[in-house]
Amino acid sequence: MNQTSITLVGNAVTDVTIGATPNGIEYSTFRLATTTRRFDRGIGQWIDGDTSYVRITCWRKLARHVAESISKGDPVIVAGALKVREWANEDRRGVSVEVDASSVGHDLARGVSAFTRAAKRDFAGDDSVLADETSPAPAFVEQAVA
């Protein structure tokens, strides 16, 4: 199976929420805002472009670590698998953009952070951080496309 890997740099614009699938697999989610920037040589300044909002989903041990580490407003870097889904209901249609994260961290180009290594008990059992075929996606409220 092919997947589109992506790395995003931006800000967490929601607090992290945590939950579990019916199978007991932990997940956490938050929304990330990322804004393109380009240097305008004509005026000699950086210009902000469009802002994209992406739902980030973390699984298993990464879900717990992100819930304990990331807060609304934090500058973060996220790497993972891009998922773009079209949806429709009775009166609206839209597209949701999500990333199943494999790694999440603070953007140290914009601040400093203190790292605490996870206890060994966090690594017992299945230490996978990605969803698998048996992990149903968390139910999300979709965003309408204008």
Report residue 115 as tokens. 């790292």
* % of residues, the chain, pLDDT over 90: 68
- Right CATH for 4-38+45-123 from 3.40.640.10, 2.40.160.60, 1.10.3330.10, 2.40.50.140: 2.40.50.140
Whether the pLDDT of residue 115 is over 90: the answer is no
pLDDT at 134: 47
b/e per residue, 127-136, with b = 16+ CB within 10 A? eebbbeeebe
Q: What is the pLDDT of residues 15-28, one digit of tens each?
A: 999 999 999 999 99
pTM, two decimals, is 0.77
Give the pLDDT band of residue 77 (cuts 50, 70, 90). very high
Give the pLDDT band of residue 143 (cuts 50, 70, 90). very low
Here the contacts of 9-13 (C-beta below 8 Å, separation 24 or greater) are 9/34, 9/75, 9/76, 9/77, 9/107, 10/34, 10/35, 10/54, 10/75, 10/76, 10/78, 11/73, 11/74, 11/75, 11/76, 12/70, 12/71, 12/72, 12/73, 12/74, 12/76, 13/53, 13/72, 13/73
Q: Could you tell me the residue ranges of all domains in the chain?
A: 4-38+45-123
